[in-house]
Structure formats: structure tokens, C-alpha cells
Homo-oligomer: A and B are copies of this chain.
């Protein structure tokens, strides 16, 4: 039985990649804030009160294309990192082959970095969709040995 112990190399790797992925998603949240302040695009009146345009306070406006990209990126990260972290933990407990585990974790992080760059910069498709699907595929590959050990 594999243990949740940093001496277990697969677990130590899982922890490291999961943490980097979660930090990546927080970094996007900070980019959203920076982009809002830089472009003065806010959703709520209290965010606008310190900005005066002409004789009036700035008003809340709908998000522009770049902020929409960042918000979608943030949401997409959540939608994909949560499955990876959850199923990844179960996968570690099945005591997988360290080589495969290492390959899965690294490929997943790489696929998410490519996905985020492709979405934020608007790179030509199918870069974004392909990197998204690679992430989904890895999560499914990790789910297989998990479901074999599980009990319905």
C-alpha cells in the first residue's frame, strides 16, 4: 500500500506538481486584477469610486475581450486542476509505476501551461483544444487503475 509520505517519491512528485498547478491558477487570478486596474474595467461601483473621468466617477462596464480571456482561463484551470488533484491523489494511493506517474504529472503541467498561453494570447487553434484534451486524457488514464481498486 502506497503512503502519503514525502519519502514516497510518487507522492512527493504529485504534491509538487499539484502545488505548481494551483499556484498557476492563483497567478491567473492576480493577472485578472492587474488587467482590471490597468484598463480601468470594473464590475462593481465600489471598485470605481477612486477614479474620476471628467466630472463623474468611472462606471462599471462589461468585461472586454482580454479580461474575458483571463477569466475563462482561470475558470478552465479550476475545471481541470481540481480533477487532476483529486484523481491524482487516488492514483498515488494505488501504488503506480513511478515512471508512468512522473510522465503523467509532467505532461499534465506542460499541457496546462500551453493551454493558458494559447487562451490568453489567442494562439491559432487547435493548440488550445489539443492541450486541453491532453489534460483530460491524462486525468482519465489515472482514473483507470483507481476505478479498478474502487468498490461500488
Given contacts A46-B125, A129-B33, A136-B30, contact A83 B149 (CB under 8 A): no
Note all chain B residues with C-beta closer than 8 A to A18.
86, 90
A131 contacts across to B, CB distance below 8 A: none
A43 nearest CB across to chain B (Å):
7
Whether B12 lies near A46 (C-beta < 8 A) is no
Docked complex: A59-85 residues within 8 A CB-CB of B: 68-69, 72, 74-75, 78-79, 81-83, 85
Chain A residues within CB distance 8 Å of chain B: 1, 4-7, 9, 12-13, 15-20, 22-23, 25-26, 29-30, 33, 43-47, 49-50, 68-69, 72, 74-75, 78-79, 81-83, 85-87, 90, 93-94, 119, 122-125, 128-129, 136, 139-140, 143, 146-147, 149-152
